[in-house]
Structure formats: C-alpha cells, structure tokens
C-alpha cells in the first residue's frame, strides 16, 4: 500500500512557519540531509548561506522552488522529534542566525535557539 506524500508548494519569503513546521518541512524535503531535529536546527541557526533569514521574529526561507516531500509526512514528523549529536558541525561564525537572534524573535524560535545553543555547548563547539 502506497503512503500519501504531502506536496510542499512554493513559498514566498514572507511566509512564516513555526519552528516545528519548518523542521518537518526540511526533513520531508531533504531526508538524506537531515536525520534529526538537531541537524535541522544546526543548519538553520549555524550554517552560513542556509537560505533562511530573520523576518518578523522568525527564520523564513529566502526562496523556495517547488519540492515535494520525499518521505511520508508521518515519518518526517517522527524524525522531527528526534535529537542527535551533530556529525559534522559547521564552524562557528558571529554572522550566523544564532548569533544574530533578533530581540523580537518569537518564543518558539527563541526556544529553538536555546536548544541548539545547548547542543553546541554539549558538543564543545561553543564555550559554556
């Protein structure tokens, strides 16, 4: 029996998703790149040129071509709840989205920033 796949339509840069929606979306579209929630948060907050920028208190995708989910939505949602060690961390830079967290960041984005910051400290990428 074939499972239903959710098609993700084109987004404009002004579309604001919650942290959870963004994580599920990244995993659903790029399951080979993101194996856990932690890897998505690392990409969003630490990797320069990740394609996301702060707008109205949330990280939003700058530009998105139509990319359908490559795995069932239920599997993407399950993976989005999993945490893991960061396999190949991107080097820290003071220009990344975590370092430039705006004062008007929405609560779920602040919590996500705190979550990845704690993971980076645990992995000894950032000092305590």
Residues 22-41: tens digit of each pLDDT: 999 999 989 999 999 999 99
User: What band does 14 get if pLDDT is binned at 50, 70 and 90?
Assistant: low
Residue 14 domain-assigned (yes or no) = no
Beta-strand ranges (E) seen in 1-128 are 52-55, 58-61
Q: Given this model, what pLDDT does residue 37 score?
A: 95
Q: What gap in Å lies between CA 122 and CA 92, rounded to an integer?
A: 14
Number of domains in the chain: 1
Contact at 8 Å (CB) between 21 and 69? no
Burial call 88-106: b when 16+ CB within 10 Å, e when fewer: ebeeeeeebbbeebeeebb
Residue 3 domain-assigned (yes or no) = no
Q: Given this model, what pLDDT does residue 69 score?
A: 72
Contact at 8 Å (CB) between 85 and 36? no
Its domain, for residue 92, covers 19-121
Residue 111 domain-assigned (yes or no) = yes
Q: What is the pLDDT of residues 54-112, one digit of tens each?
A: 999 999 988 766 667 777 888 888 888 888 888 778 888 899 999 999 999 999 999 99
């Amino acid at each position: 029996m074939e499972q239903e796949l959710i098609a993700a339509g084109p987004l404009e840069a002004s579309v604001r998703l919650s942290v959870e929606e963004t994580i599920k979306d990244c995993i659903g579209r790029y399951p080979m790149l993101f194996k856990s929630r932690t890897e998505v948060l690392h990409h969003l907050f630490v990797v320069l040129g990740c394609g996301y920028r702060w707008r109205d208190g949330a990280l939003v995708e700058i530009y998105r071509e139509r990319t359908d989910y490559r795995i069932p939505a239920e599997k993407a949602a399950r993976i989005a709840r999993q945490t893991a060690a960061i396999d190949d961390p991107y080097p820290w830079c003071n220009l990344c989205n975590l370092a430039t967290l705006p004062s008007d960041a929405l609560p779920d984005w602040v919590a996500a920033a705190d979550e990845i910051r704690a993971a980076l400290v645990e992995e000894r990428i950032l000092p305590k």
